[in-house]
Structure 1
Amino acid sequence: MHILHALTHSVHGGGQAVPYQLVRHLQRRRPDVRNTVMLPEGGVYVDTFRETGASVVTFPLNTLAFRSAVTIRGTVSRIAPDIIHTHGRGAGLYLRTLPAGVTAARRVHSHHGFHLPEHWPHSTVFRIAEERFLQRTDAVIAVSESEREVILRTNPGSQPKVTVIRNIVDAGEVRRRALVPDSGAADILHEMERYPTVIMVGRDDPVKNHPLAFRAAATVLRESTEPRFVFVGITPAVPGFRSLSDDFPGRVHAAGLVANPLPFIAQSALLLMTSKREGSPLAVMEAAALGVPAVAVRTRGLDEAVRDGETGLLTGDKAEEVAAAVLRCLSDSRRLKRLSEGARAAADAWDLDAWMEKYLAVYAGATAC
């Protein structure tokens, strides 16, 4: 079996981390499976995928251009895959719309967070496009039950094609990478060793809901003089951060985009998640592998990733509710220890071989169509 894994982006992100873990494990455990990865050039994952031994082809799947739509036909014909597994919208647009005359490969698509646009006409256009794409897609993978429900509400006809495969992480690999600190962040990491720290990992995107996180942080910092907050993935220029930093100088940090956020998570007491919605958030799983419980808003995706009272706490979406949950953990060392142990135990129970086999079963089912 020859699988073409096509990624919309090559920079850091869950949509890249999941297929990387899959390809890496397939390369190690299934020598009978041939893997080719197609992704845009310039991102860190280009070399990361090459290190697995898989074939890597760079192609601008993150930008829409007529020329690319033409040249991709010849590229796919030369690769000659049996399965095309697309990840994200750009890759899905280019490769799910390829005519059958270009390739006989079966099409599998992973959304890594299926989010219907909130406003018309974007929502209508998105719905119509997905209906068209589905006609040329043999299987769809949802990374959580909640994502599956949204897909089915958007396109009820997709039900026979949708399979849920929840994201997991390689706990041992996460712990190994957590031991390699970012040399440019030594000052922040040193301070995190001295104070109980709450970390949030997320890009500057409205869906991550940083304003809620900032308001909750302000409440916590007013109530207690010890905690520190570190925001990985944003700069001080993000609206609302400068005001928080001015009110609590030296107690909040915006670490920006870092190549490896795991050392930051490992030095933290809690992971904070305030997203309006998620697919299957890798940050929660990476934190669990490091024994760092999460305080998360009870929203779609997060309510599946965090087991309330076992691997973290779920809370309402008001700043005072989020802050109260953070303070309950930081002020009760026994509670925090219990949640930490629960998170680590959950991560230790994940089975990468079984997870990989679920993907192979989807591929086998697609080829049998």
Structure 2
Amino acid sequence: MKTGSRIRVMEIIARMNVGGPATQVLGLSEGLNPEEFDHRLYTGYLEGDEGDHLRLRDTSIRVHRVRGLGRSINPADDLRALFRLVSAMRRFRPHIVHTRTTKAGAIGRTAARLSGVGAARVHVFHGHLLHGYFSPVKLGLYVRAERALASVTDQLVTGGAQVRDELLAAGIGRPEQYVVIPPGVRLGPVPSREKARAELGLPLDAPVVAYIGRLTRVKRPDRFLDAAGAVLARVPGCRFVMCGDGDLREEVKHGIAPARDSFRLLGWRKDVETVYAAADVVLLTSDNEGTPLTLVEAGMAGTPVVATRVGSVAEVVRDGHTGLLAAPDAGALAAHVVRLLSDPGAAARMGATARDWTTGAFGVERLVADTEALYRSLRGASRHRLTPEGTNT
């Protein structure tokens, strides 16, 4: 395919921090066929220790930085980011504007309208903010904003059917606008259990339970600590590792003080495969999730999980087969953890089943193929013809 006839895609995400959306963007950017797609990534700058360098330092992807597109809401910076994107769109003339994350979705889709380039608009909901984030007043504003943005969007994408259904129930978009594209993951080499535990300073013979994710309110690290306390009462030698960071870090440090020797706070680690390999169980305690990559990765590493039944978690974890699901209750989660720790044979069978299931259903190659098909279908929704960059239509 000639360079000028490629489908031009402008992908916009607020920040490439450690997390699921950034993982999806990298896998997609590295996997798209460059002969068919001219794909460019636009993202903001990070604040503090959000982990951007862990995602971008080892990739050859060209990143276009947009000041003001990061996490913080600041009207002046947001307005400047909006017009920087408008200018970039008029130079690049994308056929598709592909947005992810709430802020980038709002600014990017607005910029697509203001730019006048006629791009088709697609927005990905990796999850949503309907539960566990806002006060009722702020939630109402969020819903109204997403409804308005959905009305000027050609395609809405979710990683799972449950997230789609919850957004539709809130009046965001129409059923025919939605397409479900499950996430795609490529996990690095998984070390042996012995090597992983030596790397993390964990005893080889102790049961180990892992938390992997941001230390922030919706992820409920406090519930993890409560569940850990209940597990320790029945399995005194158990160890707990927490891989991640966030605004609740100091609260977590305070919370583990009574049993400090049983916990390891790892911060962000690039070699997350080491944490999965060291763990007997991965425990997710969130109030709200989309389609969590942590659970996909745990499955690919052959580690069974215990998780709250929220969002599209049940579309990743096959309850009773690849892990165990429970209500968002520390006691119920702890009981499931103890069950797996008490029956290593059953845990190993679940881990093996999880490896087969997640590797087949959530491979990055499938994500790329699904997204390429979406882009081709959106060619017809583009409001201008496929023409070389810089040509007026």
Q: What TM-score, normalized to structure 2?
A: 0.84
Q: Does 1:143 align with 2:159?
A: yes
Separation in structure 2 between the aligned mates of residue 168 and residue 76 of structure 1, nearest angstrom: 28
- Partners of 1:289 and 1:100 in 2: how far apart? 43
Q: Where does residue 183 of structure 2 map in the other structure? A: 167
What is the match of residue 57 of structure 1? 64
| Equivalent residues in 2 for 1:19-168, closer than 5 Å | 19-26=25-32, 29-41=33-45, 45=52, 48=55, 53-60=60-67, 61-62=69-70, 63=72, 64=74, 65=77, 66-98=79-111, 99=113, 101-116=115-130, 118-155=134-171, 157-168=173-184
- In the TM superposition, residue 192 of structure 1 has moved relative to its aligned partner by 5.3
Distance in 2 between the 1:154 and 1:366 partners? 25
Aligned equivalent of 1:199: 210
Q: How much does 1:233 deviate?
A: 1.3
- In the TM superposition, what is the alpha-carbon distance from 1:215 to its structure 2 partner? 0.9
1:325 corresponding residue in structure 2: 336
| Equivalent in 14, 17, 35 of residue 23 of structure 2 | 17
Partner of 1:360: 372
1:8 corresponds to 2:24: no
Pair 1:268-2:279 in alignment: yes
With over 3 angstroms needed to count, the CA separation of the structure-2 counterparts of 1:303 and 1:140, relative to structure 1, is same
Q: Which runs of 5+ in 2 are unaligned?
A: 1-6, 382-393
Deviation at 1:366, TM superposition (A): 2.3
Other-structure match for 2:390? none
* Residues 45, 32 of structure 1: alpha-carbon distance in 2 compared, 3 angstrom cutoff: farther
Deviates most, 52-61 or 215-224: 52-61
Tell me the alpha carbon deviations over residues 184-212 of structure 1, each in whole angstroms, 9 at most, x when there is no partner: x9977121544221000121221111221
Residue aligned with 1:229, SS: strand
CA spacing shift, 1:192–1:266, aligned 2, 3 Å: farther
Note closer, same or farther for the CA distance 1:349–1:70 as it changes in structure 2 (3 Å cut). closer
Quote the offset at 1:118 in angstroms.
4.5
1:227 alignment counterpart: 238
Q: 1:309 aligns with which of 305, 320, 329?
A: 320
Flag the 1:67–1:221 CA change in 2: closer, same or farther, 3 A. same
Q: Distance in 2 between matches of 1:37 and 1:179?
A: 32
Preserved contact between residue 288 and residue 311 of structure 1 (Cα < 8 Å): yes
Of residues 341, 346, 353, the one that matches 1:335 is 346
Distance 1:301 1:140, change over 3 A: same
Q: 1:277 touches 1:302 (CA, 8 Å); kept in 2?
A: no
Corresponding residue SS for 2:261: coil
Change over 3 Å in CA distance of 1:253–1:346 after alignment to 2: same
- 1:245–1:251: 8 Å Cα contact kept in structure 2? no
Q: Is the 8 A contact 1:39 1:46 kept in 2?
A: no
Q: For structure 1, which runs of at least 5 residues remain unmatched after alignment?
A: none
Query: 1:105: how far off?
Result: 1.4
In structure 2, distance between residues paired with 1:263 and 1:156: 39
* Mapped partners of 1:188, 1:250: distance in 2: 17
**Contact kept in structure 1, 2:156 and 2:178, CA below 8 Å:** yes
CA distance in structure 2 between the partners assigned to 1:208 and 1:192 by the alignment: 27
Residue identity (%)? 25
Q: How many aligned positions are there?
A: 359
Q: Which structure's relative contact order is higher, taking Cα pairs within 8 Å and 6+ residues apart?
A: 2
TM-superposition CA deviations, 1:282-310 (whole Å, max 9, x none): 00011111111101122222222211111
| Contact 2:317 2:324 (8 Å CA) reproduced | yes
- Cα–Cα, structure 1 residues 232 and 192, in superposed 2: closer, same or farther, change >3 Å? farther
Q: 2:209–2:238: 8 Å Cα contact kept in structure 1?
A: yes
Change (3 A) 1:199 1:46: closer
Aligned counterpart, 2:386: none
State the one-letter code of the partner of 2:295.
Answer: V
Alignment CA distance shift 1:194-1:80 (3 Å): farther
Is this contact kept in 2: 1:199–1:231, CA < 8 A? yes
Match in the other structure for 1:239: 251
- Tell me which amino acid in the other structure corresponds to 1:229: F
Closer, same or farther in 2 for the Cα pair 1:44/1:31, shift >3 Å?
farther
Q: Is the contact between residue 280 and residue 302 of structure 1 (CA under 8 Å) also seen in structure 2? A: yes
Distance 1:68 1:36 in 2: 17
CA pair 175-10 structure 1, distance change in 2 beyond 3 A: closer
Q: TM-score normalised to the size of structure 1?
A: 0.89
In 2, the alpha carbon distance for the partners of 1:352 and 1:130 equals 28
1:106 Cα deviation after fit: 1.1
Are the counterparts in 2 of residues 199 and 232 from structure 1 also a CA contact under 8 Å? yes
Q: Match for 1:368: what amino acid?
A: G
Q: Which runs of 4+ in 1 moved over 3 A?
A: 41-55, 185-188, 234-238, 350-354
C-alpha deviation, 1:68, in angstroms: 2.3
Amino acid across the alignment from 2:42: M
Check conservation: 1:112, 1:143, Cα contact below 8 A.
Answer: yes
Query: Does the Cα contact within 8 Å between 2:9 and 2:97 map onto a contact in 1?
Result: yes
* Cα RMSD for the two superposed structures: 2.6
Distance 1:157 1:109, change over 3 A: closer
